[in-house]
Amino acid sequence: MRSLLRFLTFVMALGFCLAPLARAQTPESPAPVAAPVQPSGPAEIKVGVYINDIQSIDLHNYSFVADIYLWFRETDAEIVPGKSFEWMNMFAPDDHVQTDIYPEPVRQPDGSDYQVFRHQGPFAAKFSVKTYPFDRHQLTIEIEDQEWDANRLVYSPDEVTLNPEISLPGFEIGKPTIEVRNRPYPTNFGEVGTPEPEAYSRAIISIPISRPVASGVTKALLPVFIVVLVAAAALLLKPEHVEARVGLSITALLTLVALQFSAQAALPDVGYLLMLDQVYLASYGFVLLVVALLVMTTGNAEEEKELAGAHALAQGGWRTAFLSVLLYAAVIGLVLWLNLSAPGS
């Protein structure tokens, strides 16, 4: 009986010892893996900008240098904020400097991930100086994601703020705006797996600038008007003062040419006619009109007596000078109105 009890005890002890080893060798069934949640629509990425400084504007190279802070905020776990965006209108890429404010995106109280970048460098801008010296421009900075198209990622404007201490010599700065567009590309960039062209979400930051009206009048137009008045003064002199009358008109003509060359030195070389060029053309026409009147009244005494009738106006005097200046002012007013009222001016 004791032998039977000892045998049963040995068998039970051996069973307890081998049970953990058996469980270790039995493969466990894998835990169920949750299927990935497919997004119902494109992820909405908040984009905001703080414009810290506009350092310079180069009209000749069609570029400007800006210092900005750009931030992204999103709630999609698959997308890292700011990881794959690119600047679309860079100018001289080697001159750009970008700094990540945080090593990794920061979780916000609302559950979104947040990242900020400080970027400094030149950006390309298509300046139009057609209405110079009253030209207006839009300084634009454009960004776009290079990995996700608009079916997966769309930008959403957050806010755009301008440093109140920014000073841009020669220009007045307006209120900046941020706009989002879906930019389609008419190509698949040679990718065989993407037969249809795709659209990408693009954020466009616009900073409006304009030249002060008072500055444009005093620096560009006032010198021209003074030269025109000097040319008109030649009509106030008597016909016998031939040398003085011709000297005033020729001096006015040469001064206009010098002023135009000086004004064009600060502007890019363009193929269209500027508003200022039209003002100079009208001024040249006025001076030529004065010269024509002077030629008509230059002759011998008998011819001057014959002009006293039908050609009395051509002899000069304050009436002739006043009417000619009035005609010139009307032409200049028409030139300014046609240019400044045109769409896009």
Query: What contacts 8, CB < 8 A, 6 or more positions away?
Result: none
Q: Are residues 226 and 317 in the same domain?
A: yes
Which CATH number characterizes residue 183's domain?
Answer: 2.70.170.10
Q: Within this chain, do residues 76 and 191 fall inside the same structural domain, yes or no? A: yes
Instruction: Specify whether 314 is located in the same domain as 167.
Output: no
Cβ pair 142, 88 in contact under 8 A: yes
pLDDT digits (tens, 9 = 90+) for 182-192: 988 887 777 77
Residue 268 belongs to a domain with what CATH number?
A: 1.20.58.390
Would you say residue 30 lies in a domain? no
Sign of torsion over alpha carbons 277, 278, 281, 286: negative
- Residue 316: per-residue pLDDT: 60
* Model pLDDT for residues 132-147, shown as the tens digit of each residue: 999 999 999 999 998 8
Q: Is the same domain home to 248 and 331?
A: yes
> What is the tens place of the pLDDT at every residue in 81-105?
888 999 999 999 999 999 999 999 9
**Dist CA 222 CA 227 (whole Å):** 9
Q: Where is the domain boundary, 190, 211, 232?
A: 211
Structural domain of 185: 43-211
Residue 37 is assigned to a structural domain of this protein: no
Residue 109 placed within a domain: yes
Both tokens of residue 78? 């698959």
pLDDT band at 177 (very low <50, low <70, confident <90, very high): very high
Total structural domains in the chain? Answer: 2
Which residues, including other chains, have CB under 8 Å from residue 85's CB and lie 6 or more apart?
72, 143, 144, 145, 146
The answer to whether residues 200 and 262 belong to one domain is no
Q: Amino acid identity of 94?
A: D
